[in-house]
Each structure stands twice: as C-alpha cells, then as structure tokens.
Chains A and B, each alone.
Chain A
Amino acid sequence: MSGHERRMSDVGKRALILKGGRVVDPSQNKDEVADVAIIDGKIDAIARGLAEGAAEYEVIDCGGLVVSPGFIDVHCHLREPGREEVETIATGAAAAAAGGFTAVCAMPNTDPVTDNQAAVGFVARQAQRAAMARVYPIGAISLGQNGVALAEFGEMVGAGAVAVSDDGKPVVSAQLMRTALEYARTFNIPVADHCEEPTLAFGGAMNEGIVSMRLGLKGIPAEAEEIMAIRDMLLARLTGGHIHLCHMSTKGSVALIRWGKEQGINVTSEVCPHHLSLTEDAVGDYDTHAKMNPPLRTAADVEALRGAVKDGTIDVIATDHAPHHYDEKEREFADAPNGIVGLETALAVNVTWLVKSRVITLPMLVERMSCTPARIFHLPGGTLKKGAPADVTVFDPAADWKVEASQFRTKGRNTPYQGMTLTGRTHVTVVDGRVVYRLAH
C-alpha cells in the first residue's frame, strides 16, 4: 500500500481516519463498510484497514454509523447582517454543523439586503471566521429585493455568490425574471425562485382549505405557488436559464415540474423536510410553530412530494431554516412571522418520514441532501472521491432522540418538532478535514 506509506511520512499534516463506518457515497455508487482517510482537508482513500498502524492519525471510530459526503443545504436564512439577535452566520453555521451540514447557502433577505459584492463578501468573511460549516452567499436578484433593478450578478459571483434569489418575496415582474434568467446564464448560476403569486396569497396565514375555513384564517391556495412555478419554467424555456424552484409544497407543482423536465426545461427544485412530514393539521389550535411560507399543505400534497423526491422530479431537500425570536412567534397566528428552524432536525425528519417509512433508501437520501445539491449549485463537495474536499458527515440512521429546542445551536427555538422522538442523528461533521461537530455523549 504505497498510499499508506506516503501518509506515514506526512507527520505534522492534518490527518484523520473515520474508522469502520458504512460508507455511503452515491456519487461513486459506494455502500460498504470501510475506513475513510483524510489528509490536509482532502479525501485520501477509502478502504478497509486504513486505521491499522496509523499512529499519526486522529482516528474516530464510526462502527455502526454511516459515513457520507457532507450534507449541503441550498436554502437557509442566517439573518446576518441585520437580525443578529435572531441568528448570526456563526450560530447558523454551528447549527448546520450540528445537523450534519458541511455547507449551506445563505439567502440574501438580510438587512441590508445582500445585493452587492461588498455584502456578499461580508457573508463569506463571517463564515470563514466562524469556521464551522461552509456558508455560500446567495445574492439578491434585484437591488433591495424590490423587484425593480437587477443586482450586479457578476460582481457578486466574483465575491463568492453561488446563486441569486429574491427569496422571501416573489419576483413579481415577469420581465425582470426573464432578464435575471438570461443574465444569470452568463455566470452559470441558478436563479432560486420563491414561487408566490402575491395578490392571490395576500394576507394568507396557512393553506387554503378545510382547516383554514375551520380556524377562520385566510388561506393561501396551492395555485399561488403553481402559477409562479409554471410562469418561471416557461421563462426558463424562453431564456435557457436555470430556474431553481424553492420550497415546493403542492401536488400541482410536482405535476408541473414533471412536465417541465419532460420538456427539457432547465429546471431544478427543492422541497423542505416539513413539507414532507407535516400537514396543515399541525396548525392545530393556532400553533405559530406550524406557520411558514409556503404553508403546510394536505396529506395528498405530502404524498405527491414524497413521490417526487423518490423519482427525482424534485432534486434536493433543503431546509428553509428560518429562525425567529421567540417573542415574534408568541403572537396571534395571523401576525406571527413565517418560518421554522430546520438545520438541526432535517436529517432526523428525513430519516423518520422518508427512510424509515421506506419511501426512499438511505443512499438516495444522501444523494438528495449532498450529491445533487452540490451538482445543481456547482458547489465543491457532495462526494468522497479521492482528492475531493474532506466534507464528511457521520450519522446514526437508527438512533432515536427527543427534539429539545433549548439544546439547539441555532438561536431559533421555533420548531414544530419540539418534544417529538425522531430517528437519525449526526455524530461527527468534518469540514475541510477538520472536525467541526461531535455529538457529546
């Protein structure tokens, strides 16, 4: 083993072996028990017996655990700059690491909006300082997210932006969306699309249907999402641009995306763990922790979304992690802000509702949470191939644990899973060869 000898001479370099885990790497169709050797932030080798005699390495025993390429979340809100009391890039990146994410993409609806190269650079620098999960900035589509003037995509990409989005708000003008898709092609970045027809969704607090009628809350019909999803797929067809449909929540959207892909439109899409696990019934007696946008939908929608994750109509699972101060959720339902935290529950929710219930296999979950996000957002990672960045997640797919929001790394406590016993827990998160999270025993 010449590689082994070489490593033996690498004393003083950072070296780590993840020993004896089930290595699941769909990027190279790997699913086997092996050791993973990491040197200087790169994957060096995957084989059995690497740990023997490797005295200079830090060895972490991964027996009984899954070792996979690190999870990548293409959609989260880290609130910095502007709402540092709610979340900072450091606390968000720490939460990501605790959830098994080695990289996250931060949405630009900060205050001020991340709509220029200086702002993008700030996010990147704060992430470097935090040195937890990697944080890739997403730049705004329009200046101030006002839906009027295009932001400087080129300069933002130069400063580290990996995509553009006005997430939190829809791009109301079809002309602006057309231009954004065309202009984004120049830089080979996706346009991440918050699909919401604003006049139809206006004032809505939850899914429109029998539950909203019962509770006397203004509903948001599925069509508010679907109208924008189809409009923007058509604009992607017109322009050849890459439209990435964020947080898809309806059965109708699934059918539309399926059609779009059949047509060869350059469309990708994401779904959130909560839309794969909960229905509008979770609103119960006005529980603001079940309030998000798009809202929790019906059982038929959840079913269709699960099917779409399985057959690849929906490419990735993304958290839409949206921390809020606890006071803000402690309000009348209609006045409470949208969103829940998701980074630290995503893996468990996905394992519990998708893998345990046999909708998808564990390797497919890794694909949807790691390999595919890396591919469609053109990010490093998503693979354990030799020479790839050593971004690795080690998790126990069978561990039951009780969600206790007070233990979260995120500053947010707004989770509808509070108190639930879920299955699947991150044990070790490795970013760039460094252990950034280890489950305390």
Chain B
Amino acid sequence: MTAPLGKDLLGIEPLSPDQIQLILDTAEPFKEISERAIKKVPTLRGATIVNLFFEASTRTRVSFEFAEKRLSADTVNVAASGSSVSKGETLVDTARNLEAMRIDMVVIRHGASGAAHFLAHRIESNVINAGDGTHEHPTQGLLDLLTLRDHFKRLKGLKVCIVGDVLHSRVARSNIWGLQKMGAEVAVCGPRSLLPSSIKDFGVTVFDRVDEAIQWADALNVLRLQLERMQAGYIPSLREYNRVFGISRERLERARKDILVLHPGPMNRGVEIDSDVADGPFSVILDQVTNGVAIRMAVLYLLSGAKPELAEQAKGGQP
C-alpha cells in the first residue's frame, strides 16, 4: 500500500491540501483517546521510534512522546547537542547509527535548517521534522490549523495574521504554507527588520501597525520573540517591542470584535503577549497544546501506513 503522506513529514510546503485535510481529519478521532481513562491503543505496537532532539524542547518532545506512547510504540529519547561543526558525532554518523539499529521512525528537532531533509535522504526510516532551524515546524503548523478549524469550523476565507519575528520563525513558515493551502488569507505583522525581505513574494499582506492587523484579522498567531534577536541588533529593546508590537488586552478590546489568539509557546509574557491576553477569553493557547498530541498521533499513524505489518495492527487499533 502507498503511504498517504509519503515516507516523511519534513514540512507543510510539500503537502497538498488533501494531505493536510487528511491529517486534520485523522486527528479528530485521536483526540478522544486522550480523554479516555486508559489512554492507549495498540496501533503502533512493535514500532520503535527515536525522538532525536538536538535542541532543547519540552513541549514538543513531551507531546511527541505522549503521542507515541498512546499509540503503543517503543520510544527512546535522545538529547543530542551541537552540530557537526562542534565536537562530537556528525549528523550523518548519527543517521547511520540509527539506521543500523533498525528503527522505524525518527522524530528530529535540530538547530540547522534542512537537518530533517538531511536525515530523511539518508535513512529508510520515516522521518518527522519536529522543527529544523528557521525552516519548518510542520506539526506545530498542523496543530494550529486544527485549533483554528475547531473554533471557526472552517479554514477557507479565514483571516490569520502572524505577529512577530517571521524572519527567524519556522512556525511562521509552516503556518503560511498550511493556511494558504487551506484557502485562508495570511498576513504578517512585525518590525521590518524581523520580516524576510522577500515576504511580499509569499502572497501575504504586511501590516506595520499591529492595530491594523488586529482590525483585519479573525485570529492572531503570536510568535515567540527570541531574546537573542535583541542581542543581535534586530530590535533596539524588548520594552519598545512590547509597546509597538505586543498584544495587549487594550489593543484587542479596541478592535471591538472576537479575535482568537494563538501562541506556539513558550511565551515571553509581557514581551510579545501580555498575561491578560494569554490567560484571557480569546486565548486558545492550551487548546493548541491538547491538539498537538492528536496531530502528532495522526501523523505517526499516517506515516506508519508505509509499513504493511504496522498498518495491519492499525486496523485493530483505530478508534
């Protein structure tokens, strides 16, 4: 049987709208498993999965691990550090070692853009990109889509503005691709020094004023501002960033409409988002986290379809 997503999930850019739809639809029944008293199905029994994290991550790693465990996979977490330029094993050697251990899937988080491609091209196992440099973070993009769809019951025609450091954000890229493929309108808003110079070529609207973005949007996806951006001189200060681009309750109230607020986490409260927004009625930030497990279960399930013996078990395990 052919795998509906192919061998790997490296990004949202290569996915078709049908494939995205399939992942979102597949995630729906998986949500229910996490609500059960016994949160486990035998779908991936016998499958070995390595969570290979070259960058620190709590939320994404834990979310993947729960998704894997709830599907009964055997999982190993590897917290590697550094890249090939620092001392230690090169990524290609890591890949070969994993291959030699005959694992079924690798979930990789890495600081270098393209690291997931690098791995995927060199091993037979399925590779899931859990964030590579400033390239993509596809499962985050997918869980954002699922959260928006849950709330609005549609994605087509939805107006979503991504606010913040688009230049260095893999979440932004995955969101732009995913939203556009599903027929949503996408805008970005942030300091021009943190927007790619070619952003217009992506068919997105650019807002310089966050108030205009709020006025336009049905939902805001507020990006984390990496503190090192200030040290690198992209913005003068966090204080000014908060004053010009921070999402505050006053700003949202001025729009006089319901507006959904997403944030991929972890948040810098008081920088890109104020606490009363993060904890407020329009925030779906924790729904995103809940959906993250379901999306990752769906992705693991769909990728495992490449292996007939796993697919056989999956039938019995499908809720």
Contacts and interface: CB of A to CB of B under 8 A. Distances in A.
B198 to A, nearest CB: 5
A214 interface: yes
A216 B173 CA distance: 8
Most B CB within 10 A of own CB, among A208, A210, A219: A210
B91 interface: yes
B172 to A, nearest CB: 10
A401 to B, nearest CB: 27
B13 A214 contact: yes
Contacts of A334: 112-114, 133
B84 A335 contact: yes
B110 A216 contact: no
Contacts of A330: 90, 92
B234 interface: no
Interface residues of A, number: 21
Contacts of A8: none
B152 interface: no
A262 interface: no
B73 to A, nearest CB: 27
A335 B115 CA distance: 11
Interface residues of B, number: 28
A332 B202 CA distance: 25
Interface in A170-196: none
A331 interface: yes
Interface in B164-181: 170, 173
Interface in B73-126: 83-85, 90-92, 110, 112-115, 117-118, 121
A335 B85 contact: yes
B112 A335 contact: yes
Nearest to B173: A216
A259 interface: no
Nearest to B169: A216
A409 B134 CA distance: 38
Nearest to B54: A332
Most B CB within 10 A of own CB, among A209, A219, A286, A327: A286
A221 B196 CA distance: 12
A331 B90 contact: yes
Given A215-B135, A216-B132, A335-B85, A210 B198 contact: yes
A214 B134 CA distance: 9
Contact of B117 (A208, A286, A327): A286
A221 B201 CA distance: 16
Interface string A197-212: 0000000000011101
A286 B118 contact: yes
Contact of A214 (B84, B121, B133, B173): B173
B199 interface: yes
A286 B91 CA distance: 14
Given A214-B173, A215-B135, A332 B115 contact: yes
A218 B167 CA distance: 9
B110 A332 contact: yes
B197 interface: yes
Contacts of B65: none
B272 interface: no
Nearest to A202: B232
| Across the A-B interface, the 10 shortest Cβ-Cβ residue pairs | A216-B135, A286-B114, A332-B112, A216-B134, A216-B113, A213-B196, A210-B198, A333-B114, A210-B201, A285-B117
Given A331-B118, A333-B113, 19 more contacts: A209-B198, A210-B198, A213-B199, A214-B13, A214-B173, A215-B114, A216-B134, A217-B133, A219-B197, A221-B197, A285-B114, A286-B114, A327-B90, A330-B90, A331-B90, A332-B112, A332-B114, A334-B112, A334-B133
